[in-house]
């Protein structure tokens, strides 16, 4: 086991990918708690599809993927947020509309330029080889910024997540903090998308939060627990994908499913004990 790890980390591209991946996993897990509780989980999914479209366009334009993707996905995040707050339009339908449209645009752009090839598969399902050195530096900076913002605004995010009406009534600028959450989510998704794949990145947001909610009872412990769960699952997933030669993104998701089932079982057993005591 130790030997495998030493062997793994003798490849610099793997070290880079794992470092960025762990930071993205932490960001996604922290934001995920708030998104899941606010019933915004689908926004993450919608954004990753928009991200796919922007990846295709940036490849066609021969531009750096992150610099094209980030502004467009951030814009899409604000748009989706507005849509889901506006009760006149059905939020889930609008999200489906935007995600399928971006998928279609992406596919058309790819087929007109490079043609359908392994790149497309990598965009959809992720590849550990996707990051070059410049990407890694930008990703590291952005991930640290997302983390710092989350810590700084943690209490505000709690207030807005638990009860938006109350927060608004007592003078908290809820729109601003909702936009902050959407903004941070958009950046996190773009950073993680190429490694995890456009179809799988939203699992990093949803799974750790749901997993830790099985067992934890406080907002702070849910937040910390989901960050830990997310990192452990990501790391195990990468190791498994290295040893078994399975795709990285899918391996991470599989480990997340196992963790979820484990926590769920632990909660049922705990609940059973408590019932017996009574």
Partner 1 sequence: MALITCQDASFAYEGHIAVSGLSFQVNSADYLCVVGENGSGKSTLIKGLLRLKTPQSGRVMLGEGLKPDGIGYLPQQTAAQKDFPASSYEVVLSGRMGAKGILPFYTQDDKDIAGKNMERLGIGQLRDRCYRELSGGQQQRVLLARALCATKKLLLLDEPVAGLDPVVTQELYRLIADINKNEGLTIIMVSHDIHSGVKYASHILHLKNTQAFFGPAEDYIKSSVGRRFIGETAEGAHRAEGGE
* Cα dist from 224 to 151, 191, 208, 257, whole Å: 11, 21, 10, 19
Tokens encoding 129: 């080889």
Residue 169 found at the interface with partner 1 (CB under 8 A): yes
Among 6, 10, 62, 171, binds partner 1 (CB under 8 A): 171
Please classify residue 97 by burial: count the beta carbons closer than 10 Å to its beta carbon, then call 0-12 exposed, 13-18 middle and 19+ buried: middle
Residue 41: Cβ within 10 Å count: 16
Angle at 189 between CA 90 and CA 125, to 5 degrees: 100
Looking only at residues 89 through 128 of this chain, which bind partner 1 when binding is defined by CB under 8 A? none
Tell me the closest approach of the beta carbon of residue 152 to partner 1, in angstroms: 5
Tokens encoding 212: 């830790």
Residue 168 found at the interface with partner 1 (CB under 8 A): yes
Q: Which is nearer to partner 1, 39 or 90 (CB)?
A: 39
Q: Which is nearer to partner 1, 116 or 169 (CB)?
A: 169
Residue 218 found at the interface with partner 1 (CB under 8 A): yes
- SS3 for 257? helix
Whether 230 and 208 have beta carbons less than 8 Å apart is answered as yes
Among 19, 22, 105, 156, binds partner 1 (CB under 8 A): 156
Q: Which is nearer to partner 1, 134 or 163 (CB)?
A: 163
Q: What is the dihedral of CA 243, 245, 247, 253, to 10 degrees?
A: -30
Q: Which is nearer to partner 1, 167 or 201 (CB)?
A: 167
Q: Which is nearer to partner 1, 80 or 222 (CB)?
A: 222
Q: Which is nearer to partner 1, 115 or 171 (CB)?
A: 171
Looking only at residues 2 through 41 of this chain, which bind partner 1 when binding is defined by CB under 8 A? 37-39
- SS3 for 121? helix
Length of the chain: 278
DSSP conformation letters of 204-241: HHHHHHHHHHHH--SHHHHHHHHHHHHHHHHHHHHHHH
Residue 167 found at the interface with partner 1 (CB under 8 A): yes
Q: Which stretch binds partner 1 (CB under 8 A): 18-26, 66-74, 131-139, 210-218?
A: 210-218
Among 152, 257, 261, 266, binds partner 1 (CB under 8 A): 152
Tell me the closest approach of the beta carbon of residue 221 to partner 1, in angstroms: 8
Q: Which is nearer to partner 1, 60 or 172 (CB)?
A: 172
By CB under 8 A, name the binding residues for partner 1. 37-39, 152-156, 158-159, 162-163, 165-172, 213, 216-220, 222
């Amino acid at each position: 086991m130790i030997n495998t790890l030493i062997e793994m980390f003798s490849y610099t591209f793997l070290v880079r990918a794992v470092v960025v991946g762990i930071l993205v996993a932490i960001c996604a897990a922290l934001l995920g708690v708030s998104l899941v509780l606010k019933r915004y989980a689908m926004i993450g999914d919608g954004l990753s599809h928009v991200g796919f479209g922007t990846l295709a366009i940036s490849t066609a334009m021969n531009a750096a993927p992150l610099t094209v993707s980030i502004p467009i996905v951030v814009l899409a995040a604000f748009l989706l947020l507005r849509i889901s707050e506006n009760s006149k339009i059905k939020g889930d339908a609008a999200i489906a509309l935007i995600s399928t449209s971006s998928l279609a645009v992406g596919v058309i752009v790819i087929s007109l330029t490079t043609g359908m090839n392994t790149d497309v598969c990598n965009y959809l399902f992720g590849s550990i080889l996707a990051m070059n050195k410049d990407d890694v530096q930008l990703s590291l900076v952005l991930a640290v910024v997302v983390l710092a913002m989350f810590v700084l605004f943690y209490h505000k995010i709690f207030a807005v997540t638990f009860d938006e009406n109350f927060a608004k009534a007592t003078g908290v600028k809820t729109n601003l903090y909702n936009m902050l959450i959407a903004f941070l989510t958009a950046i996190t998704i773009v950073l993680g998308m190429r490694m995890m794949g456009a179809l799988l990145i939203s699992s990093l947001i949803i799974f750790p939060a749901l997993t830790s909610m099985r067992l934890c009872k406080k907002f702070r412990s849910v937040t910390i627990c989901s960050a830990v769960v997310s990192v452990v699952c990501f790391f195990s997933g990468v190791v498994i994908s290295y040893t078994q030669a399975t795709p990285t993104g899918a391996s991470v998701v599989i480990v997340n499913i196992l963790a979820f089932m484990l926590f769920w079982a632990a909660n049922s057993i705990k609940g059973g004990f408590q019932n017996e005591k009574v």
